Amino acid sequence: MTTAAPFNTASPEQAAPAGIALTLQHHLKEQARFCDRLETMADLLPDAVDARDCLLMAQNVVPLIKRAHDFEEGTVYPLLLSLPDTSTELKSTIERLRYEHLGDEEFAGDLCVSLRQFVTDRGSSNVESLAWMLRGFFESVRRHIAFEREHILPLVQRHSS
């Protein structure tokens, strides 16, 4: 049975006031931890999943992802795009990351619905499909944040203080 540890509901600015790079790092870590929890849940399906934990995940998946994306799109990407030496390659990379955000946000919304349905209407919930959704979602988010940790974070660290 999983434990329902509270999520950090503070705004990113409150959680990491020391700069853009630190806030970005905070969001990347928060998303990675969330993915770990989703993976644990996928492993525990169907009978060992804690209902309260499942509802908590459903409640948090969209806001957590949105918060990270809003910070990147409102602060991180504009910072990188404003640099005088921004390459065409970086511009198209940022464009691709924005598209990935859209896909993951839509996916997060669908996952929220399926997680709720699993708890509130188990009879009509398709467990195999939920397991597939969970894995598809956290694998996609993990790929995205791994790329940002490797390529975007170092750029931000170089250009913010």
Closest to Fe ion by CB, 99 vs 132, is 99
Any residues with CB less than 8 A from the CB of 87 and at least 6 apart, and which? none
Q: How many CB atoms lie within 10 A of CB 85?
A: 6
The site map against Fe ion for 70-99 (x = CB under 5 A) is --x---------------------------
CA-closest candidate to residue 28, choices 153, 159, 138, 133: 153
Q: What Cα–Cα distance (Å) separates residue 119 from each residue in 43, 88, 89, 111, 135?
A: 16, 47, 45, 13, 18
Least gap, CB of 55 to Fe ion (angstroms): 26
Q: Binding to Fe ion by residue 53, rule CB under 5 A?
A: no
Closest to Fe ion by CB, 53 vs 72, is 72
Q: Which stretch binds Fe ion (CB under 5 A): 15-23, 28-36, 67-75, 102-110?
A: 67-75
Please give the size of the binding site for Fe ion, defined by CB under 5 A.
Answer: 1
Computed from CA positions of residues 36, 40, 46, 47, in that sequence, does the dihedral angle turn out positive or negative?
negative
What residues from 100 to 139 belong to the interface with Fe ion (CB under 5 A)?
A: none
The CB-nearest residue to Fe ion is: 72
Q: Which residues bind Fe ion (CB under 5 A)?
A: 72
